[in-house]
C-alpha cells in the first residue's frame, strides 16, 4: 500500500515537473519599472523586473533570454503551434537593455565590429556614421528590444528567408503570427511609406504591448533623453524617433 502511494506521488511529481518546463519562469524578487521613462529608455535590469520572465531553453539556443511575461506566453503558443506544422521558431535575441544596446552600438561606432565588411570609424561625418549603423541596429534608448516585446528569430540575414527552411518559416509567420499578436515591424520599404531601418525579416514584435510603449514613447520621451553613448548628439538631426522608432509596418499599428 505504501509502495503504491509513493508511486502515485512520484508519478504526480513527474507530471507537474514536466508541465513546469513549459511555464515561463517569473523573476522571484525585485519590482517592476514598466510604468517609468527608464523602462522606455531601456535603463533597467530586466532580469530583476517582475514583469519579465526567462525564456525556456526549448525556445532558444541562447542563454539568459527574457521577455515580458505576456509576450512570452503568446510566443510559446505560437512556436508550439508552428512546430506541429514542422516550422521551427527559435529566439536568437529578445530583451536588450540600454547597456547591452550601447555595447552593440559602440562596437560598430568604434570599428571594433565591422558593418558589411566596413570599418565605420573611418566615416568622419558622425551623422552619416550613425545612419550606417542604423540600417540594422538601434540607438541605445531608442530600441523596441528595450521593452521586452520584440524577438529576433532563426537567422540574422534576410537572404536566409528567401528559400528552403527560412522561406518556410517566413511564410508561416506572415500567414499566422498575427493570430498570436505578433507582426514584422520592419518589413520591406516597398510596402507603403516606411522609412528608417532596412527590412528585417527575423524581427517580430508582440504589438499589444509594443504599441502602448510606442505611444508612451512619443508622449514622454524627448531627444534630450537619448544620451550616454558614443555618437549621441546625432539623434535629433537624424530624427530617430519619427523616422526610425515610430516608422513601422502599417499592419503593426
User: What CA–CA distance (Å, rounded) separates 146 from 43?
Assistant: 8
The chain-wide mean pLDDT, for the chain, equals 90
Domain 2-252 architecture: 2-Layer Sandwich (3.30)
pTM: 0.88
Strand order in the sheet with 25-26: 25-26, 52-54, 66-68
**Domain segments of the chain as ranges:** 2-252
Query: What was the pLDDT predicted at 25?
Result: 58
String of DSSP letters for 203-230: EEEEHHHHHHHHHHHHHH--GGGS-SST
Residue 70: enclosing H or E segment and its boundaries? helix 69-84
User: What CA–CA distance (Å, rounded) separates 150 from 80?
Assistant: 18
pLDDT band at 193 (very low <50, low <70, confident <90, very high): confident
Query: What was the pLDDT predicted at 26?
Result: 58
Query: What was the pLDDT predicted at 61?
Result: 86
Tens-digit pLDDT profile for residues 115-167? 999 999 999 999 999 999 999 999 999 999 999 999 999 999 999 999 999 99
pLDDT band at 6 (very low <50, low <70, confident <90, very high): very low
Tens-digit pLDDT profile for residues 101-111? 999 999 999 99
Query: What was the pLDDT predicted at 13?
Result: 38
Tens-digit pLDDT profile for residues 226-241? 999 999 999 999 999 9
Query: What was the pLDDT predicted at 22?
Result: 56
**Which residues pair with residue 206 across a beta bridge?**
182
SS3 23: coil
**Which residues pair with residue 54 across a beta bridge?**
25, 66
Asked whether the CA dihedral 21, 207, 205, 158 is positive or negative, the reply is positive
pLDDT band at 202 (very low <50, low <70, confident <90, very high): very high
Amino acid at each position: 500500500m505504501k509502495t503504491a502511494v509513493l508511486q502515485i506521488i512520484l508519478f504526480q511529481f513527474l507530471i507537474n515537473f514536466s508541465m513546469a518546463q513549459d511555464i515561463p519562469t517569473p523573476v522571484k524578487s525585485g519590482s517592476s519599472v514598466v510604468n517609468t521613462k527608464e523602462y522606455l529608455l531601456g535603463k533597467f535590469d530586466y532580469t530583476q523586473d517582475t514583469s519579465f520572465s526567462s525564456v525556456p531553453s526549448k525556445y532558444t539556443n541562447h542563454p539568459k533570454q527574457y521577455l515580458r511575461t505576456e509576450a512570452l506566453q503568446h510566443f510559446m503558443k505560437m512556436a508550439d503551434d508552428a512546430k506541429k506544422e514542422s516550422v521551427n521558431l527559435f529566439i536568437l535575441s529578445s530583451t536588450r537593455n540600454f547597456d547591452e544596446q550601447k555595447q552593440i552600438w559602440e562596437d560598430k561606432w568604434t570599428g571594433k565590429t565591422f558593418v558589411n565588411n566596413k570599418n565605420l570609424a573611418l566615416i568622419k561625418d558622425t551623422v552619416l556614421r550613425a545612419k550606417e549603423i542604423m540600417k540594422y541596429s538601434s540607438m541605445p534608448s531608442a530600441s523596441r528590444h528595450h521593452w521586452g516585446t520584440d524577438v529576433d528569430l532563426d537567422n540574422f540575414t534576410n537572404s536566409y528567408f528567401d528559400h528552403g527552411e527560412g522561406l518556410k518559416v517566413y511564410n508561416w509567420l506572415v500567414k499566422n503570427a498575427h493570430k498570436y499578436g505578433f507582426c514584422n515591424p520592419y518589413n520591406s520599404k516597398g510596402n507603403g511609406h516606411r522609412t528608417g531601418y532596412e527590412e528585417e525579416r527575423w524581427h517580430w514584435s508582440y504589438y499589444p504591448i509594443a504599441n502602448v510603449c510606442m505611444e508612451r514613447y512619443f508622449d514622454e520621451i524627448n531627444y534630450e533623453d537619448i544620451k550616454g553613448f558614443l555618437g549621441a548628439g546625432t539623434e535629433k538631426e537624424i530624427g530617430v524617433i519619427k523616422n526610425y522608432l515610430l516608422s513601422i509596418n502599417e499592419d503593426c499599428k
